[in-house]
Amino acid sequence: MERNQKENQWNAPYKNYKIKNKKENTYDRMKNILVLLMLAIASQSLSQNLLSLPSAKAITLENNFGIQIAKNELEIAKNLTDRKANGYLPIVTADAGLNGNVGSASQNFSNGLEASTTNAFNWGANASLGANYTIFDKRRDLTLDQLNQSVELSDLQLKQTIEQNLLTVYTQYYQVLQLSDNIEFLEEAISISEDRLKRAQYSLDLGQGDGLAVLNVTVDIQRDSVNLLNAQMNLETAKRNLNVAMGRSADTEFEVNQAELISNQLDLENLIDKAKTNNTNLEINKLAINVNSLNLDILDAEKKPTVFAGLSYGLNYSDNATGSFIDQSNSRGLNGNVGLSWTLFDGSRDVRAQNAVLNIQNQKLQLQNLEQILERDIRNAWANYQNAIFVLEVERKALDTNEENFKRTEERVRVGQLSSIEFRQAQLNLLTAQVSLSNAKINAKVNELELLQLAGLLLSDN
């Protein structure tokens, strides 16, 4: 009996420990479930805020203010081509009036009679309804043709606005991507330094090192933390810039995802050929020449007559004072007219025609100059693109080298063959190689986008 009591007393703490451990296991399982649930929620939230490049394009086309203004300008140009706005419908007018007067009058007639009125009141009323229509005006037809071509010009200007804004959005998107990568590199560097700090502190606690190694690592962590803070601030600024470029609130939160950066389908001569037919600026100048060429036809149309017709119905009524020669009168009737207007001579017309010819010649010269500049810009952009690709390949190899160097350095530090300072230098070299490769990728992509814009292919690029 006494022995059993002693055994129970001996086993009691162990039993209590078992029960407690079981409770802790249950708590751990609940905690793990909660963590997984929070990670799932965070992952879902991240996917909802994930901004892909096609999504950025769609948002820009829908919300960008410059694009919306250009679309409205296009609608204005279309409205101006309506025949109602160019004199192809008659102009209908209505007039009505009422008048009255009070006065005195006297008359002496040749037969010796006299008549006079004092404070006599006279009044009258009139009304008319008329319509005028231009039957023939060659200038009107040519002006309508010019307005229709102006619609095509506004459409090209809208395309140009879209290209410019999309290039800005794409460039800023890749800048956000670049800064996000740099933050990951800095966070990785801080994590490595924190592991170094733990090892240095552990060695110090065991009496195998001095406090200098701990201080050196602490300084490294502080420096990397400052760099990380600056990178995060730059990233927030870049995100705000991208939001505004897309036309949405500057504080909209989002994350970017990796995108295909480099295209291997580009060819210099093909880009030059495409630019001759697709470059938006070139198309605008070509169409502007056609629009202005119609000015000569409009000036020539001034030599032709303008034929017009009018039709009106009028009503007049008057009520005169007693003693007036005519007591009351009224008239009504339908009136019609057909007319012709012809400017037989206008000395300024020849001068205006000469200036119009000179303006067209200047525009053609500007077009030739623009074609030369465009080819030069494409060749320069191509050279920059090829150089960027070369640098990209060099940076990739440099990263591979630095990763291998860092791995070996880390192993030698662990066995005490290298100092903490040498490890830090290897770490900095790796960080520099990572950042340089990220920058090289973005630089190559931006050069590629500039080539596509010059060739007029940016809108077909995703």
Q: Is the pLDDT reported for residue 207 higher than 90? A: no
Average pLDDT over residues 51-76: 94
pLDDT at residue 289 in the model: 93
pLDDT, tens digit (0-9, with 9 covering 90-100), for 236-263: 999 999 999 999 999 999 999 876 566 6
SS3 content of the chain, % helix, strand, coil (to 5): 70, 15, 15
Mapped onto helix, strand or coil, the DSSP state of residue 247 is coil
- Cα-Cα-Cα-Cα dihedral of 408, 412, 414, 416, to 10°? -170
pLDDT per residue as tens digits for the range 275-315: 999 999 999 999 999 999 999 999 888 889 999 899 898 88
- What angle is formed at CA 268 by the lines to CA 442 and CA 275, rounded to 5 degrees? 95
Q: What is the pLDDT of residue 6?
A: 36
CB of 389 closer than 8 Å to CB of 444? yes
Indicate the range of 87-91, 98-102, 318-322 predicted with least confidence.
318-322
- pLDDT number for residue 460: 78
Residue 38 has pLDDT above 90, yes or no: no
Picking from 121-135, 202-216, 294-308, 392-406, which range would have the lowest pLDDT averaged per residue?
Answer: 202-216
Which of 49, 55, 62 is CA-nearest to residue 170? 55
| 252-266, 327-341, 357-371, 420-434: least confidently modelled range | 252-266
**Around Cβ 342, how many Cβ atoms within 10 Å?**
10
Instruction: Tell me the β-bridge partners of 329.
Output: 318
Query: CA 167, CA 60: separation in Å to the nearest integer?
Result: 11
**Which pLDDT score, from 0 to 100, does residue 411 have?**
86
Residues 6+ apart with CB under 8 A from 30: none
Pure H helices in 247-346: 268-278, 280-301
On the question of pLDDT at 362 being above 90, the answer is yes
Mean pLDDT of 22-41: 46
Residue ranges of domains in the chain? 51-89+137-305+345-460, 96-135+308-341
Binned at pLDDT 50, 70 and 90, residue 455 comes out as very high
The residue-averaged pLDDT of 47-59 equals 85
pLDDT of residue 27: 41
Asked if pLDDT for residue 336 goes beyond 50, the answer is yes
The mean per-residue pLDDT over the stretch 386-397 comes to 95
What's the rounded Cα separation, in Å, for the pair 254 and 49?
5
Summarize the confidence of residues 103-132 as an average pLDDT.
Answer: 74
Written as six digits, the tokens of 156 are 């090209």
**The domain 51-89+137-305+345-460: what is its CATH number?**
1.20.1600.10
* Per-chain mean pLDDT for the chain: 83
Q: How much is the pTM? A: 0.78
Q: Which of 31-35, 87-91, 278-282, 299-303 has the lowest mean pLDDT?
A: 31-35
CA distances from 131 to 141, 309, 314, 334, 336 (A): 21, 8, 12, 12, 9
